[in-house]
């Protein structure tokens, strides 16, 4: 039996998972940048070095926490990246595929460790050995290509003599010497930039000069000056490879406390290079080198387990980061507390009113009202602050989608451009996580079913490269995500054929359905038009899961398709699931909460204003027909003749649809924290949860999107046939 972990161990594991996941996401993002750089023929060596440092950090971190599979993968990949950054291995698409595969496997291992809560949960994973075997074969291939009669290695090549002090060469790392040699071979102008930094502002000053130099070339190294200077200032020499015009460099540093010195170079037979590094180690699971590294890193602190990565010279002990990681569950707890405080705030307001009406103490009522108003303002600030912390940009999800798109397009031998607009749009962290899989399904289907092969696209007078565009933007209290491809669109005839054959719809229904209704059949369970089953699609699951999953977080998905032009999915999401303002309404002496972000308007109607449109109740609203849904009948309440003469209509809007919800009356507005209904009521789709509204009363929270969807099934067809009422 596994030993139960205490809270301290669990906290340490959670911190490890958070940091390792952050590293994995950064690695994936940098690999996508490398992929684009290879396509454009403009490879930034610092980017390769950044990936190397990420793997180095991941190796140290996973070794410290005893996650052996991660430690082994990172160790092998670090050696591969070391060969890449030193120019001994060419960065080809196949090598990049191995790096992407490693990051994907790292993410899977972290997920498995997180699910089980044990750092040894991923031990013995067969995918690890398969990946290491691929790396082993790559290492052997590189060894075979290194012919003894071929060109001399870097270690034996003549070292350039520069107008630099001999002490400089002694402190250069192997990577820095390699970059120095590469730039000299390319004829790039080298400069020594002398500058001084105040000790108190060294971080800001260093970032400033880096931002000025980076667009103009490559910073090879930073070296402290050997000469004694002012006690409160640090003199730094920057070895810089200028890839632009010298005038651009002078203009960039104009006004800064720097001195430029051109470095001349000539070759002579001299070498100060260190011994060549080892080849990529064997993938043998009993590899003594891997075991030795794992043994040392498990017993040493993370900061001491490995030396500082090459090229990163600590100039200050002060951290430049002003951020901290916060477990989302802690924010949930705080948000629940805020919700409870909101209920208390409402209770104080009621007590204040009772004091005025029952006791007649107007003075106490005014004082309580003043205090309560201050309480409300501070509570609103606290709520907004917590919500702001929970909000993250969609970029976090899009980086993972980028890797998935690259892999699928390569597997299907299709070229696809992924264009993103609105990546900075912020959404609740929980919504981001819940949306990852649905978005993956939609884009996977777009590439597999939508985007044609290059031959088909040429025949249709389309460019060989397909396009999948994702657009995100905020619309009121919702976030809209649109995913559009320029493929062949949805074949409605094929949809009808499959749906009738599988008895998802009858032939009579098929004859009366519009093209839009047929298109939406893709969301039915078991609906798949794929002719064969593959790892990517054709298993009869996917779009129905997408719709269900999006619905569980209060979202709606709609689809539009034009044959030969493409398909567009439109997803409407709430900005947050934490705490929402709600409109409290009464229905048959019961109180319900309607999320304000789905309420467009509220109005009272007279019975004579209601008319029938093809058997469905409707009213004229702003010159258009608005269908009604009487919630007492929708919920199946038996009221007899006990109905109010005047009814209130809450105009609910979600996505591109509107519906008038008929209620008995409006009680007021209140901020609510939605809590789940529990397993026994989890399948009741029209309620998203329950909330405490104070005075020991609970109110069910209406899932407006589901109500609109269920009510509109029969009414959509009617609405298309009804002209706007003037």
Residue 571 sits at φ, ψ, to 5 deg, of -115, 125
Query: Same domain for 406 and 374?
Result: no
Identify the burial level of 1 via C-beta atoms within 10 angstroms of its C-beta, where 0-12 means exposed, 13-18 middle and 19 or more buried: exposed
Lowest mean pLDDT among 1-15, 33-47, 583-597: 1-15
CA nearest 427: which of 467, 380, 390, 455?
390
Reported as a single tens digit per residue, the pLDDT across 582-633 is 889 988 888 999 988 788 888 888 888 888 887 788 888 888 888 888 888 8
If we measure between CA atoms, which residue out of 403, 313, 359 comes closest to residue 108? 403
* DSSP conformation letters of 164-197: S-HHHHHH--HHHHHHHHHHHHTT-EEEEEEEEE
The separation between CA 137 and the C-alpha centre of its own chain, rounded to angstroms, equals: 34
Q: What is the CB neighbour count within 10 angstroms for residue 369?
A: 16
Tell me how far apart the alpha carbons of residues 466 and 462 are, in angstroms, rounded to a whole number: 8
Q: Give the CATH number, domain containing residue 234.
A: 3.30.70
In contact, 594 and 661? CB cutoff 8 Å: yes
| Greater model confidence, 361 or 529 | 361
**For residue 390, what are its two tokens?**
């929970």
Closest listed residue to residue 506, CA positions, set 490, 519, 521? 521
Identify whether the C-beta of residue 544 lies closer than 8 Å to the C-beta of residue 551: no
Identify whether 444 is part of a domain: yes
CATH number at residue 47: 1.20.120.160
Res 428 pLDDT > 70: yes
Note whether 64 and 90 are same-domain residues: yes
Is the domain of 44 the same as that of 95? Answer: yes
Which tens digit of pLDDT belongs to each residue from 623-665? 888 888 888 888 888 766 666 667 799 998 876 678 899 998 8
Note whether residue 474 is domain-resident. Answer: yes
In a domain, 323, yes or no: no
- Identify the weakest region by mean pLDDT among 157-161, 219-223, 226-230, 688-692: 157-161
> Which token pair is 683?
């399948």
Query: What single DSSP character describes residue 684?
Result: -
Give the residue with greater pLDDT, 333 vs 278.
333
> Which pLDDT score is estimated for 607?
82
Domain span at residue 420 reads: 394-574
In a domain, 417, yes or no: yes
What's the CATH number where 455 sits? 3.30.565.10
Helices 93-116, 7-40: inter-axial angle, 10-degree rounding = 160
Query: Where do we find the tokens 């529990």?
Result: 678
Mark residue 360 as left, alpha or beta (left: phi above 0; alpha: psi -120 to 50; beta: remaining): left
Query: Are 545 and 688 in a shared domain?
Result: no
Higher pLDDT, 582 or 277: 582
CA distance 69 to 108: 11
For the record, the structure tokens of 92 come out as 């080809």
Say whether both 33 and 130 belong to one domain: yes
C-beta neighbour count of 336 within 10 angstroms:
14
Whether residue 267 contacts residue 158, with contact meaning beta carbons closer than 8 Å, is answered with: yes
CB 225 within 8 A of CB 236: yes
The answer as to whether 437 is a domain residue is: yes
In this structure, the answer to whether residues 377 and 404 fall within a common structural domain is no
Cα torsion at 33, 37, 43, 44 (round to 10°)?
-30
Q: Are residues 563 and 589 in the same domain?
A: no
CA–CA dist 412, 448 (Å, integer)? 7
Residue 378 shares a structural domain with residue 399 = no
Element (H, E) at 475: strand 466-475
In this predicted structure, the answer to whether residue 452 has a pLDDT above a threshold of 80 is yes
Whole-number Cα distances in Å, 315 to 198, 223, 224, 249: 11, 10, 9, 24
pLDDT of residue 251: 83
Question: What is the pLDDT at residue 126?
Answer: 82
Which pLDDT belongs to residue 345?
82
pLDDT at 611: 85
Task: Assess whether pLDDT exceeds 70 at residue 272.
Answer: no
Counting residues of the chain whose pLDDT is more than 90, the rounded percentage is 6
Q: Which residue has the higher pLDDT, 673 or 170?
A: 673
**Which of these three, 539, 574, 609, is where a domain ends?**
574
Examine the fold and report which residue of 528, 551, 574 is the final residue of a domain before the chain moves on. Answer: 574
Cβ-contact 576, 431 below 8 angstroms: yes
**Contact between residue 345 and residue 588 where contact means Cβ atoms under 8 Å apart:** no
Please calculate the CA angle 182-184-187 and round it to the nearest 5 degrees.
115
Written as six digits, the tokens of 468 are 């999948």
Residue from 687, 696, 690, 685 nearest 673 by CA:
690
Number of compact structural domains in the chain: 5
Query: What is the rounded distance in angstroms from the CA atom of residue 483 to the CA atom of residue 571?
Result: 8
- Cα separation, 319 vs 589, in Å, equals 59
Distance CA 101, CA 84 (A): 17
Listed ranges 193-207, 352-366, 553-567; the one with the highest mean pLDDT? 553-567
Banded model confidence at residue 567, pLDDT cuts 50, 70, 90: very high
Catalytic residues: 56, 78, 445
Give, in order, the Cα–Cα distances in Å from 556 to each of 178, 381, 629: 54, 30, 19
Q: What is the pLDDT of residue 139?
A: 65
| Alpha carbons 50 and 641: distance in angstroms, whole number | 74
The structure's pTM equals 0.63
Question: Residues 261, 246, 265, CA angle at the centre, nearest 5°?
Answer: 50
- Predicted confidence at residue 570, as pLDDT, reads 92
Residues 6 or more apart whose Cβ sits within 8 Å of residue 116: none
Q: Are residues 515 and 408 in the same domain?
A: yes
| Contact indicator for 151, 185 with CB cutoff of 8 Å | no
Q: What is the pLDDT of residue 6?
A: 60
Distances in Å between the alpha carbon of 318 and those of 276, 322, 461, 668?
35, 11, 59, 52
Alpha-carbon torsion (474, 477, 481, 482), positive or negative? negative
User: How far is Cα 507 from Cα 504, in angstroms, rounded to an integer?
Assistant: 10
Q: Which residues contact 6 (CB under 8 A, 6 or more apart)?
A: none
Q: What is the Cα–Cα distance from 723 to 411, expressed in whole angstroms?
A: 48
Tell me if 280 sits within 8 A of 80, measured CB to CB.
yes
Of these ranges, 90-94, 274-278, 418-422, the one predicted with the greatest mean pLDDT is 418-422
CA distance 441 to 457: 23
CATH number at residue 677: 2.40.50.180
Tell me the range of 15-24, 219-228, 250-259, 559-568 where mean pLDDT is highest. 559-568
Does residue 327 sit in helix, strand or coil?
Answer: coil
* Terminal-to-terminal C-alpha distance of the chain: 74
List pLDDT tens digits, range 359-414.
778 888 888 888 888 888 888 888 888 888 888 888 878 877 888 888 888 888 88
Query: Does one domain contain both 238 and 377?
Result: no
- The residue out of 531, 546, 574 marking a domain boundary is 574
Does residue 166 lie within any of the structural domains?
Answer: yes
Max CA pair span of the chain: 105
**Is the model's pLDDT at 307 over the cut of 60?**
no
3-state SS string over 403-434?
Answer: HHHHHHHHHCCCCEEEEEECCCCEEEHHHHHH
Residue 135 lies in a domain: yes
Q: Tell me, yes or no, whether 427 lies in a domain.
A: yes
Sheet containing 189-198, strands listed edge to edge, beginning at the edge strand earlier in sequence: 217-224, 233-242, 189-198, 258-263
pLDDT at 394: 85
pLDDT mean across residues, the chain = 76
- Do 543 and 481 share a domain, yes or no? yes
Answer yes or no: do 408 and 479 share one domain. Answer: yes
Which of 216-225, 260-269, 490-499 holds the top average pLDDT? Answer: 490-499
Cβ atoms of 675 and 568 within 8 Å: the answer is no
Q: Dihedrals φ, ψ of 542, to 5°? A: 150, -80
DSSP β-bridge partners for residue 481: 472, 571
Listed range (8-12, 86-90, 271-275, 582-586) with the worst mean pLDDT:
271-275
Q: Render pLDDT for 664-713 as a digit per residue (tens, 0 to 9).
A: 888 888 877 777 777 677 667 788 888 877 766 888 888 888 888 777 65
Q: Which residue has the tokens 């102008």?
A: 189
Average pLDDT in the 152-173 region? 52
Collapsed DSSP state (helix, strand, coil) of residue 620: strand
Q: Which long-range contacts (CB under 8 A, 24 or more apart) does 84-92 make?
A: 84/48, 84/52, 85/45, 85/48, 85/49, 85/52, 85/175, 85/178, 86/154, 86/174, 86/175, 86/178, 86/277, 87/154, 87/178, 87/182, 88/142, 89/138, 89/142, 91/34, 91/38, 91/43, 91/48
C-alpha count within 13 angstroms, C-beta hemisphere, residue 164: 28
Residue bearing tokens 């609105």: 422
Say which range, 32-36, 272-276, 574-578, 580-584, has the weakest mean pLDDT.
Answer: 272-276
């Amino acid at each position: 039996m596994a030993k139960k972990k205490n809270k301290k161990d669990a906290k340490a594991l959670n911190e490890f998972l958070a940091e390792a996941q952050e590293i994995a996401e950064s690695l994936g993002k940098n690999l996508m940048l490398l992929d684009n750089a290879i396509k454009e023929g403009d490879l930034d060596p610092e980017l390769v070095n950044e990936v190397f440092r990420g793997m180095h950090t991941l190796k140290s971190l996973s070794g410290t926490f005893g996650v052996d599979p991660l430690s082994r993968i990172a160790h092998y990949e670090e050696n591969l990246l070391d060969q890449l950054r030193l120019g001994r291995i060419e960065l080809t698409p196949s090598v990049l595929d191995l790096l992407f595969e490693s990051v994907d496997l790292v993410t899977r291992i972290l997920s498995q460790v997180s699910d089980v809560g044990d750092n040894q949960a991923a031990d013995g994973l067969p995918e690890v050995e398969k990946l290491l075997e691929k790396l082993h074969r790559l290492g052997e291939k590189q060894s075979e290509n290194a012919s003894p009669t071929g060109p001399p290695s870097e270690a034996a090549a003549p070292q350039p003599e520069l107008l630099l002090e001999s002490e400089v060469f002694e402190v250069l790392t192997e990577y820095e010497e390699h970059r120095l040699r590469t730039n000299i071979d390319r004829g790039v102008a080298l400069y020594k930039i002398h500058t001084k930094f105040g000790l108190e502002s060294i971080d800001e000053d260093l970032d400033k000069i880096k931002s000025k130099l980076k667009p103009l070339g490559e910073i090879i190294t930073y070296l402290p000056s050997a000469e004694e200077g002012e006690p409160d200032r640090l003199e730094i020499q920057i070895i810089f490879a200028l890839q632009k015009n010298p005038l651009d460099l002078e203009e960039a540093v104009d006004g800064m406390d720097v001195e430029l010195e051109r470095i001349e170079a000539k070759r002579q037979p001299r070498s100060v290079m260190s011994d060549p590094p080892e080849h990529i180690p064997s993938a043998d699971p009993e590899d003594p080198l891997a075991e030795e590294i794992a043994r040392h890193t498990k017993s040493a602190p993370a900061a001491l387990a490995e030396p500082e990565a090459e090229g990163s010279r600590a100039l200050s002990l002060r951290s430049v980061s002003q951020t901290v990681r916060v477990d989302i569950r802690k924010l949930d707890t705080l948000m629940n507390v805020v919700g409870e405080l909101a209920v208390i705030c409402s209770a104080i307001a009621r007590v204040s009113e009772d004091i005025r009406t029952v006791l007649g103490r107007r003075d106490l009522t005014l004082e309580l009202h003043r205090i309560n108003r201050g309480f409300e303002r501070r509570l609103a600030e606290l709520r907004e602050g917590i919500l702001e912390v929970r909000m993250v940009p969609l970029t976090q999800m899009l980086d993972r989608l980028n890797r998935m798109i690259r892999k699928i397009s390569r597997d299907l031998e299709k070229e696809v451009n992924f264009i993103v607009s609105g990546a900075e749009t912020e959404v609740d962290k929980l919504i981001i996580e819940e949306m990852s899989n649905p978005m993956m399904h939609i884009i996977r289907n777009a590439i597999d079913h939508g985007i044609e092969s290059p031959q088909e696209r040429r025949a249709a007078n389309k460019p060989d490269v397909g396009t999948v565009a994702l657009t995100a933007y905020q619309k009121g209290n919702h976030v809209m995500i649109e995913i559009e491809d320029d493929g062949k669109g949805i074949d409605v005839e094929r949809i009808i054929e499959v749906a009738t054959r599988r008895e998802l719809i009858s032939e009579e229904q098929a004859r009366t359905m519009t093209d839009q209704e047929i298109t939406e059949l893709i969301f039915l369970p078991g609906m798949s038009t794929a002719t064969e089953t593959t790892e990517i699609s054709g298993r009869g699951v996917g779009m129905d899961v997408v719709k269900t999953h999006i619905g569980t977080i209060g979202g709606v998905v709609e689809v539009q398709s034009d044959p030969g032009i493409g398909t567009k999915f439109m997803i409407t999401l709430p900005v947050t699931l934490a705490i929402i303002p709600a409109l409290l309404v009464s229905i048959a002496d019961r109180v319900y909460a309607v999320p304000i972000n789905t309420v467009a308007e509220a109005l009272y109607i007279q019975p004579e204003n209601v008319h029938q449109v093809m058997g469905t109740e409707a009213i004229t609203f702003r010159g258009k027909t608005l269908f009604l849904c009487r919630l007492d009948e929708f919920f199946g309440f038996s009221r007899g003749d006990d109905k109010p003469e005047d009814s209130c209509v809450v105009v609910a809007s979600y996505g591109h649809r509107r519906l008038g919800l008929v209620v008995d009356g409006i009680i007021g507005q209140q901020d609510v924290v939605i809590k789940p209904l529990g397993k026994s009521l989890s399948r009741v789709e029209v309620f998203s949860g329950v909330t405490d509204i104070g005075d020991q009363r609970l109110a069910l929270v209406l899932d407006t999107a589901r109500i609109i969807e269920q009510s509109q099934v029969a009414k959509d067809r009617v609405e298309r046939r009804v002209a706007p009422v003037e």
